[in-house]
Amino acid sequence: MRKIAVIVALESEYELVSKALGDKPGISLSLCGIGKVNAAVGATSIIERFHPDAIISSGVAGALDPELRPMDVIVAQRVAYHDVWCGGDNEWGQVQGFPKYFEADKELYSKAMSLNIEGLRIKGGLQISGDRFIDAGDVPGLIKLYPDALAVDMESGALSQTCHRYGIPFISFRIISDSADESSYSDFWSQAPENSFKVLESFLDTLK
């Protein structure tokens, strides 16, 4: 049986995902906290204690793609930092000695994009990440850096980098909480559990 680790950043996300996962065998759920350091420490701890066959990042993100709306789900095909600059010959967003983009596991991504859940829109592509809360005024600059970015969060970069270092397959699912135009779903935190359940339940079923 595969051992799968699911990591979330917020207590509210933990509660939602915990309800979605139930008591599935072989699945562990961890709360890491907000930001790069918490994400990296959380992922390292899980890898060294649980020795998972794959890590799933789940939670919320803010949309950059103007076509995305609250309650849509994005799957990260690759992840990049928006707040890293190491100088020299490194590209913006590239940690020296590492690739600029951390690619999702191809098998996991293919399975994720094959999901067909009624009433739920799933889109795959670039997720960007960094240690900043983002508001509407930041969006144009982020899009200039990464024109094809779908959404932004604070943990996926560090989680994907940690998995890259350890050779652990990684995939990130994020539910859009805010649109690029700052519109939000008024009942988000009561409706999000249903989306979390549908996505994770369906995805984990493909891994059996």
* pLDDT tens-digit series, residues 88-110: 999 999 999 999 999 999 999 99
SS3 annotation, the chain: CCCEEEEECCHHHHHHHHHHHCCCCCEEEEECCCCHHHHHHHHHHHHHHHCCCEEEEEEEEEECCCCCCCCCEEEEEEEEECCCCCCCCCCCCCCCCCCCCEECCHHHHHHHHCCCCCCCCEEEEEEEECCCCCCHHHHHHHHHHCCCEEEEECCHHHHHHHHHHHCCCEEEEEEEEECCCCCECCCHHHHHHHHHHHHHHHHHHHCC
16 class by beta-carbon count within 10 Å (0-12 exposed, 13-18 middle, 19+ buried): buried
Does some domain include residue 185? yes
Residue 2 belongs to some domain of the structure: no
Q: What is the CATH number of the domain that holds 100?
A: 3.40.50.1580
Residue 129 lies in a domain: yes
- Tens digit of pLDDT for each residue in 3-39? 999 999 988 888 878 877 777 788 999 999 999 999 9
| Catalytic sites, residue numbers | 13, 178
129 near 157, Cβ under 8 Å? yes
Structural domain harbouring 132: 59-199
In a domain, 150, yes or no: yes
pLDDT at position 204 over 60: yes
Decide if 73 is inside a domain. Answer: yes
Taking residues 124-144, report their average pLDDT: 93
pTM of the model: 0.91
Number of domains in the chain: 1
Residue 46 lies in a domain: no
pLDDT tens digits for 36-67?
Answer: 999 999 999 999 999 999 999 988 899 999 99
Query: pLDDT class for 191, splitting at 50, 70, 90?
Result: low
Q: Let me know the angle formed at the C-alpha of 136 by 159 and 77, rounded to the nearest 5 degrees.
A: 30
Asked whether residue 38 is assigned to any structural domain, the reply reads no
165 located within any domain: yes
Specify the pLDDT at position 197. 65
Per-residue pLDDT reduced to its tens digit, 115-132? 988 888 999 999 999 999
Assess whether pLDDT exceeds 80 at residue 198: no
Residue 179 tokens, joined: 């649109």
Residues of the chain with pLDDT > 90, as a percent, come to: 63
